Structure 1
């Protein structure tokens, strides 16, 4: 027999395979991370919606203040009814539930419950201070360059990710030309 020959079975080279430690580790990490990521994405989407509603309410308040402060051909100011129609048109994409307008007899800040009603979810409430004018129509001799303050309060209803029941405020101040 030769030296290099053996009589038994040929020994195999045993490969050491890595043990499959943590087979479910990736699954557990995914199960923990997924709800956090879903809440994060939903929160970002709700924040974007809230910002869009804030822009709409701010734009509506600015348009209304500019409109009421301007002079019309028939009267010295367009009045609250015309302003309400403009705000309703501005907020048509946001809501059709608009309480318009609540006239407040003092300059801002306005107090919820006292000066205006708190808006419910999806409702817009408009509060207006017309200076010394009764209904924002004014007259040239006595009310020249009066202050007009328009506040639009919107009841934002989110998915309770940001706390739910948030009132978004848009406001604008203008000086009348009448």
Structure 2
């Protein structure tokens, strides 16, 4: 089995996977609890409903909140376990085959794309910002950039990507902040969030 080169130290990636996995899992779990509360009491005043714009009730009750026929947060509760497990395994010194890294990256890419789609739906279709949803997005974004650029640096995507990955991997925090800023600016321009706080 082909493994990532041993010369690439996975400690930063392990920490990112564990930290973002824990944060994302917790936010998804809180959304599940809120969804259960709304199912028991449709008139429930959720802690995450801060204003007309900053709330999770509208998102949880929308078709976008259950795109596969069940509440989206269940995907997060199940999905965030994988990066946490991989992060812990990396701390323990585990090595993984190339196919494993690619599979994990595809899964995290799908989560990243889904979060961007949900952010678009939240801002443009629902005209809300769901606090716990934003925490999930905030965890998924650095997870995606860190994993993808680590894999590029390690040669998982081929030798031609190694130099680009090596250059950009150290920029993961800046790339993450830039992604946050794009979403924030779009939300502010579309919803004028600051005037409602």
Normalising by the smaller structure, the TM-score range is 0.3 to 0.5
Larger radius of gyration: 1
TM-score, reference length from structure 1 = 0.32
TM-score, reference length from structure 2 = 0.30
Structure with the larger helix share: 2
Structure with the larger strand share: 1
